[in-house]
A and B are shown apart, each in its own frame.
Chain A
Amino acid sequence: MAFYDGLFNAFGLKEWCGEAASSAPMSMAELLAKSSGKETKGEFFPFPSLDNLNESCPGIIQSRDVTKGIENGFLAAKPGLKAVLDPITQPLSWLLDGALWLFATTPWFIMVPILVLVSWFASRSKQVTSFVFASIMMMGLVDHYDVAMQTLSIIFVCTTISVLFGVPVGIAMSKSDRLQKSVVPFLDLLQTLPTFVYLIPLIFLFSVTESKLYGIAIILYAIVPVIRLTDLGIRLVDKDVIEAADAFGMNDHQKLMRVQLPLALPNIMAGVNQTIMMSLAMVVIASLVSAPGLGVNVLRGIRNLELGVGIVAGIGIVLLAVILDRVSKAALKRVDMTDVKH
């Protein structure tokens, strides 16, 4: 006799519940109890959970029916979603694969100078540039050059796409309070979701062999700061300067290109910096779903308890993080005209 029997009797719901034992297979606990020969002794006051209620009233579903239902729902929606999402996201796979191929096939003696030059043009700082050079050489020395380049190429693609989509969204948000109000909850959601949780619906939708799976996970996670800071940056542009732009008869396009974007650039660059850093964080986690790169070695270190492998890859990630951060921060500082005294 289960705890909630009395309750259903009192409300005269016996009929509706049905007497027959549920056709659902027995739960593990029940099975164990049965095999040990003991009658399951109910708690004094069990929580009115679905499973406990089901014991008294088989008409009520069990918790595992809920999980099953959700799964079935997902599976039912999958073909439709896939038909829409697959073609849209396919270019992402191509881009990622292309970038991976490009970074891998370019010989190191060409790639390293290119990277050094890029850091020089972005930062114009000897210190930063020489640090970049030393770090890459060090990673190469312990044979981590290839994996580091894989990670870098994924970050490169994902950051570029995040900026390409994030900046226009941010601009649109800054122009419309309504849009801002409706987008912000999504951004909050994307930032508060633990990174693992992203992966679950994505695994359902795409096969693990496709690069877009981790590409989407990374972009969803990393696009948030660039959207937020573009929106904020444009909203924070000095009202007096905007007024001057209006007073001299600029149209909306001129105002955006000549005043708002240039003055918001420091904030946008800060957003890009964060986007890069978050891409890096996510690309490591995405090694769980077959993203290549340094993350794979970290994962190997964890799975096989290969401490050395994990630590070397970890240090590689730290170096990469510092490089990306330094270079993008230096670039940010360079574009911030407001506090420059030449």
Chain B
Amino acid sequence: MVEPMVRMRGLYKIFGARGKDVLHHVQGGMGKEELLARHGHVLGLNNINVDMQAGEITVVMGLSGSGKSTLIRHLNRLIEPTVGEIVVQGEDVMGLSENGLRKARQEKMSMVFQKFALLPHKTILKNAGMPLSVRGHDEATCDKEATKWLDRVGLSGYENHYPAQLSGGMQQRVGIARALTANTDIMLMDEAFSALDPLIRTDMQNLLLELQKELHKTIIFITHDLDEALKLADHLVILKDGAVVQQGEPQGILLNPCDPYIEDFVSDINRARVLRVRSVMSAVSEADIAGEVDADKSLEDLITLSDGDTNHIYRVTDNGETVGQIDMKDLVRALVPRASSSASAAR
């Protein structure tokens, strides 16, 4: 198996002066609320074991206070873990010296922030070029790279503006350009789109997917919005009270939530639009085939295709090859959260 880009093993974070001393309580099964009430320490992360694969978007999702920001800040050690192992590109982050850590932050990981965190006294150009100038590159190089990426995120012409003169969406484009200028393999995005209004947000998600198609970065994206998570994620990690409740391929989580917490989460979603034919299809067997459908189409597309008739069975194809078939009755069942779980269990 290929070495993951990021590997976290047995990671715990307890906020408070005596985090190490109360660690054994947590390892013994004490929950977040009890720890706070009994020992006055806040449980940030509880036994995190996550692999993040190169070239994938790993989305970390959870409610407010579930420890998402804490998790992502462990990758570049903006927060020190209480105990645990963090390996990035085969290198133990915990073993890095101060200089080594700074170098890793400069060359391996860049970050995009919820509140943009641009330098208000610098122009957009200088902001975008900041990661390179920190590394000591000369001004011409910084400006050239910055101009290139600003152009790529659709901000050419704004180079000499100041952040305060730009809208939120544009400021976050600068944030993304800044991270891209750093030219790192890993991009950390902490609720990068949460401060934007829905339309701009969709724009930004599309921009990110488009960039990703071309650049194949390893992106760790944090959100508390399930729609956003499902749209972006190759790998979805769901956090609750600092612990991973479920992780895996998003469609799988949607169809087989392993926890009432996640069932709650996924109950509000428009399943027809999110679920793919591929996730609901069954193996090919002899039957009356009413037509063909692509495996990556959404259920909604198929419903439109079938004109709402539930008596048909469709052949599922992927690049012209038959990969399975789908019964419209299964499709309808998959639209109901509980029913879909039992249906797929029966299969």
Contacts and interface: CB of A to CB of B under 8 A. Distances in A.
Interface of A: 238, 240-241, 243-244, 246-251, 254, 258-259, 262-263, 265, 337-342
Contacts of B120: 241, 263, 337-338
A247 B162 contact: no
A248 B105 contact: yes
B103 interface: yes
Contacts of A248: 105-106, 110-111, 130-131, 134, 178, 182
11 contacts: A241-B119, A246-B78, A247-B76, A249-B104, A263-B119, A263-B120, A265-B121, A337-B121, A337-B164, A338-B164, A340-B164
B165 interface: yes
A337 B117 contact: no
A251 B111 CA distance: 17
Nearest to A254: B134
What 10 A-B pairs are tightest by C-beta distance, nearest first? A249-B106, A249-B105, A244-B117, A337-B121, A247-B111, A240-B117, A249-B102, A262-B121, A338-B120, A240-B115
Contact of B134 (A249, A338, A339, A341): A249
B117 A243 contact: yes
Given A243-B113, A246-B78, A340 B162 contact: yes
A250 B164 contact: no
Contacts of B121: 262-263, 265, 337-338
B117 A238 contact: yes
Contacts of A247: 76, 78, 105, 109-111, 188
Given A249-B103, A249-B134, A250-B134, A258 B182 contact: no
A249 B104 CA distance: 8
Contacts of A254: 134
B119 A339 contact: no
A67 B212 CA distance: 81
Interface string B90-121: 00000000000011111101110101111111
A339 B120 CA distance: 9
Contacts of B116: 240
Contacts of A249: 102-107, 131, 134-135
Contacts, number: 70
A114 B243 CA distance: 67
Is chain A's binding surface mostly helix, strand, loop or mixed? helix
A254 B131 CA distance: 12
Contacts of B107: 249
A256 to B, nearest CB: 13
Contacts of A244: 111, 113, 117-118
Given A244-B117, A247-B111, A248-B182, A337 B76 contact: no
Contacts of B119: 241, 258-259, 262-263
Contacts of B109: 247
Question: Is the interface on chain B under 10, 10 to 19, 20 to 34, or 35 or more residues?
Answer: 20 to 34
B102 to A, nearest CB: 4
Contacts of A340: 162, 164
Given A241-B120, A249-B106, A342-B162, 12 more contacts: A238-B117, A240-B116, A240-B117, A246-B78, A247-B110, A248-B131, A250-B102, A251-B102, A338-B120, A338-B121, A341-B165, A342-B161
Nearest to B130: A248
A259 B76 CA distance: 20
A200 B104 CA distance: 58
B137 to A, nearest CB: 13
B81 to A, nearest CB: 16
Nearest to B104: A249
A339 B165 CA distance: 10
B112 to A, nearest CB: 9
B134 A337 contact: no
Contacts of B103: 249
Interface in B64-104: 76, 78, 102-104
Interface string B145-184: 0000000000000000110110000000000001000100
A249 B178 CA distance: 13
A341 B111 CA distance: 27
Contacts of B110: 247-248
A282 B131 CA distance: 47
A258 B134 CA distance: 10
Contacts of A250: 102, 134
A203 to B, nearest CB: 46
A250 B76 CA distance: 13
A13 B238 CA distance: 84
B162 A337 contact: yes
Interface in B209-228: none
B298 to A, nearest CB: 36
Contact of A240 (B105, B113, B130, B134): B113
Nearest to B99: A251
B110 to A, nearest CB: 7
A61 B119 CA distance: 66
A258 to B, nearest CB: 7
Contacts of B188: 247
Contacts of A259: 119
Contacts of A238: 117
A218 to B, nearest CB: 32
A247 B131 CA distance: 10
B105 A246 contact: yes
A244 B165 CA distance: 20
Interface string B23-62: 0000000000000000000000000000000000000000
B111 to A, nearest CB: 4
A126 to B, nearest CB: 24
Nearest to B133: A258
A342 B105 CA distance: 34
Given A248-B111, A248-B182, A243 B78 contact: yes
